Amino acid sequence: MSEEKKVPAYSQEHRAYLNSLRRKDRFVTAMRYLLLVACLLIWEVAARLNWIDPFIGSSPARLTAAILRLYQSGELWLHIGITLYETVVGFLLGTLLGTLVAILLWWSPTLSRILDPYLVILNALPKIALGPILIVWFGAGVESIIVMGLLISLVVTIMSVLAGFNAITGEKQLLMRTLGASKLQIFTMVVLPASVPTIMNALKISVGMSWVGVIVGEYLVSKAGLGYLIVYGGQVFNLDLVMASIVILCLLAAIMYYAVAYLEKGICQRMGI
């Protein structure tokens, strides 16, 4: 006979503690949605009672109408698709290149010391200043916008991941050196697994930086996309279009962030972290 799987027995106090945590989580989630609904209601009431100028401050109803107009004209998915494509490509390239460069700098501490001041300068440099150069190099199109998104997220990724690699020191590395392990074995068996949370946190930061880079790029040179809609709406004083584009941008950024967080949770559970 096969043995029945034993279910761990919890004490009454422990079950009560777990239930209290679940209630607290439900309370936090409910308060988040309640806060959002309250802000939207206050905003709508303020606009209808002319506490704020609806033309300047817009309102949830006007935003919804602007989004519906974009949808009915067939432009909504076009602009969302272009901006999302530019952001995802820039994010993936920035993450991949940034991680590879961080590995290279960890591998060669001398090279890391040589390039450290240059990374600091590049990180402090306003990337928008490179806009005219990128337009000349890559043309006034999607390529320039993707490169702008890549550049803004690249240096942040390099510095964050490298800091995580350098923080993994101590007994495990010393033990593996004593056992004759190569640097590649030390990296793949000790440093990289221990740095997974740091890498995932760097990805979360890179998500926001990629969106910033793409929108900045669309401000400079774009014929479509959410950044283009924001610029166009400001030029024709259609602030409902501007606010609607910003709301859509926030929703897309949140979805992309939570997708990375979900990926992090799955990886950490699989690795037992």
Domain ranges of the chain: 12-52, 60-271
**Percentage above 90 pLDDT, the chain:** 4
Q: Distance between CA atoms of 59 and 46, rounded to whole angstroms? A: 8
Residue type, 170: G
- Structural tokens at position 6: 């034993």
Flag whether pLDDT at 2 surpasses 80.
no
Flag whether pLDDT at 9 surpasses 60.
no
Residue 36: partners with Cβ closer than 8 Å, 6 or more residues away? none
Q: Which CATH class is domain 60-271?
A: mainly alpha
- Which band of pLDDT confidence, cut at 50, 70 and 90, is reported for residue 1? very low
- Could you give the count of Cα atoms lying within 13 Å of 55 in the half-sphere of its Cβ? 2
Q: Distance between CA atoms of 49 and 45, rounded to whole angstroms? A: 6
Number of residues written out for the chain: 273
Residue-level pLDDT at 18: 76
Neighbours of 116 (CB within 10 A): 13
Taking CA atoms, 229 is separated from 140, 196, 248, in Å, by: 17, 37, 11
Handedness of CA 88, 89, 91, 96 (dihedral sign): positive
DSSP state of 272: T
The whole-number average pLDDT for the span 204-218 is 84
> Mean of the per-residue pLDDT values for the chain?
82
Opening angle at CA 206, ends 148 and 267, nearest 5: 140
